[in-house]
Amino acid sequence: MNRRNFIKSSLLVAMTSTLPRVILAATPSAGFDYELIVAPADVNIVSGGSTPALCFNGGYPAPVIRAKQHQPVRIRVINKLNEPTTIHWHGMRIPIAMDGVPFLSQPPIMPGETFDYEFTPPDAGSFWYHPHMNSVEQLGKGLVGALIVDEAEKPDFDEDLVLCMKNWHIKDDGSFTALTTPQNAFRMGTPGRVMTINGQIHPTYEVPASGAIRVRFLNVDNTLLYQVNSTDPQAQILAIDGNPIAQPIALTEHAVGPGMRLDLGVIAPSKVGETVTFKHKGKPMVTIKAVASQFKDRSLPKLPLNPIPAPDLDNAETIKFAFEWNANITPIEKDGEVSYNFWTMNRRSWEGMSKGHIPDPLATLERGKTYIFELSNLTQYHHPIHIHGHTFTVLSSNKKAITPFHTDTVLLGQNETVLAALVADNPGRWMYHCHIIEHLKTGFMSFVEVT
């Protein structure tokens, strides 16, 4: 055991009680790395009473699934809800059969049924998982979890904090408020009342003084865009949406929309008891506190870049996508229910799908070809545009200077147009939508097909 590992092991016992609250995965079935049991469970978020949530393995936060780059991972999902579900592995470039979209890539997991997922992550970084059925309720009530893919050669950080950001739609007694209303779905979405990190309100985690700390923020919220900043002016942005950036940059304030992730690097304070706090719009979210260690003169490890295919921009085809409000009169269904469709992609609201009924794709892409998506937000609200199975290379914006970077979720501001390239190298029918869940459920969803 080298000196640094000895120091780490010596600190482990002292720091165990202050690490992020984590639920262990159930004992997996033979041949599986993880087993996720999807079922209702009461959780404690506020002091006034328990919350009747939907959970993985009986609690919140969900188990942190850790896989390794280029190595297969097998996950068994058991549905103990009274409704169907699936699991989507957000940000992962994996085969279509493992993508977790009902009817488009797999049959729904019916109550009492089991589904086995197996894939080999090509990319390392911070990802997450969630259902793609009854999304407002299933995600809103707690079915969200972190998926961390460790690098093939893991960087030598002294602590790795996985922090899921979620606003809960609950009252002071723990009971749920409305997860959505038509008035809010038509605008920015319905905000929650209680801001949490890993299910706790402004927690403090102890880290080794002067240690190199990796801080992973994952926005698993249905609605809220977080503006992340820090009391440490030396905090560095290391990765955006699971993808390391070539040259880390100083964190001033970074927008993290629903579905998006942000990896930061900080050197912990050298003085025991000193703290660094991360905030959203001036409101503290989480604090790290230095405890005794023997580290000194540490620097932040460099993250290796992911093997994202380079787009052939000289031979790329440009496809225009316009995102707008649906100005039509809201239709009434035969049963008298109102069908709320507020959002359109190229003047088309998502029609829904079922077994034997898959709508036409929004675009058909030729396998192996480079495309430039011209993403135009023609509304006054921001939209995090997420594509499954692929990674965008963001090229430019009409609103701000862009240093090209890789992402699976492009955040569009008011009246912003962004050019984002991708290599259509993963065959299948890939969901393509706004990740504000109420927008997704009211028309802002479609799919592209790679032939």
Residues 137, 195, single domain; the answer is: no
Residues 262, 328, single domain; the answer is: no
Across the chain, what does the average pLDDT equal? 93
- Of 133, 121, 141, the residue nearest 77 (C-alpha): 133
Give pLDDT, residue 14: 44
Residues 358, 259, single domain; the answer is: no
Give pLDDT, residue 8: 46
Residues 50, 136, single domain; the answer is: yes
Structural domain includes residue 238: yes
Q: What would the mean pLDDT of 27-41 be, rounded to a whole number?
A: 91
Give pLDDT, residue 302: 96
Q: Pick the last residue of a domain from 85, 116, 150.
A: 150
> 131-149 b/e with 16+ CB inside 10 Å = b?
bbbbbbbbbbbbbbbbbbb
Host H or E run for residue 338? none
pLDDT surpasses 50 at 163: yes
Give pLDDT, residue 30: 83
* pLDDT band for position 20 (cuts 50, 70, 90): low
Decide if 368 contacts 423 (C-beta within 8 A). Answer: yes
pLDDT surpasses 50 at 43: yes
Beta bridge partners of 275: 289
pLDDT surpasses 80 at 2: no
- Of 7, 26, 419, 45, the residue nearest 210 (C-alpha): 7
Q: What would the mean pLDDT of 16-23 be, rounded to a whole number?
A: 49
Q: What would the mean pLDDT of 9-31 be, rounded to a whole number?
A: 55
Model confidence pLDDT, tens digit, residues 350-399: 989 999 899 999 999 999 999 999 999 999 999 999 999 999 999 999 99
Residues 145, 168, single domain; the answer is: no
Residues 276, 359, single domain; the answer is: no
- Distance of CA 310 to CAs 371, 373, 412, 422, Å? 11, 15, 23, 8
Structural domain includes residue 9: no
Q: What would the mean pLDDT of 42-54 be, rounded to a whole number?
A: 98
Please tell me the distance from the alpha carbon of residue 81 to that of residue 100, in angstroms, as a whole number. 17
Structural domain includes residue 50: yes
* pLDDT band for position 11 (cuts 50, 70, 90): very low
In the chain, what percentage of residues exceed pLDDT 70? 91
pLDDT surpasses 90 at 247: yes
Q: Which of 24-28, 188-192, 228-232, 343-347 has the lowest mean pLDDT?
A: 24-28
**What CATH number does residue 442 fall under?**
2.60.40.420
Give pLDDT, residue 295: 84
Residues 269, 332, single domain; the answer is: no
- The sign of the dihedral angle between the CA atoms of 369, 370, 373, 374 is negative
Q: What would the mean pLDDT of 264-281 be, rounded to a whole number?
A: 97
Q: Which residue has the tokens 């984590």?
A: 22
Residues 76, 169, single domain; the answer is: no
* pLDDT band for position 29 (cuts 50, 70, 90): confident
Structural domain includes residue 87: yes
Give pLDDT, residue 296: 83
User: By residue range, what is the domain housing residue 59?
Assistant: 18-150
Residues 50, 174, single domain; the answer is: no
Domain count, the chain: 3
* pLDDT band for position 419 (cuts 50, 70, 90): very high
pLDDT surpasses 70 at 98: yes
Structural domain includes residue 246: yes
Structural domain includes residue 304: no
* pLDDT band for position 25 (cuts 50, 70, 90): low
Please tell me the distance from the alpha carbon of residue 161 to that of residue 159, in angstroms, as a whole number. 6
For the entire predicted model, the pTM comes to 0.93
Query: Residue 105, by phi and psi: left (phi above 0), alpha (psi -120 to 50) or beta?
Result: alpha
Structural domain includes residue 380: yes
Q: Pick the last residue of a domain from 122, 150, 178.
A: 150
Residues 140, 110, single domain; the answer is: yes
Decide if 224 contacts 438 (C-beta within 8 A). Answer: no
Residues 30, 128, single domain; the answer is: yes
Give pLDDT, residue 10: 43
Structural domain includes residue 362: yes
Q: Pick the last residue of a domain from 150, 179, 196.
A: 150
pLDDT surpasses 60 at 18: no
Residues 356, 391, single domain; the answer is: yes
* pLDDT band for position 443 (cuts 50, 70, 90): very high
Q: What would the mean pLDDT of 257-284 be, rounded to a whole number?
A: 97
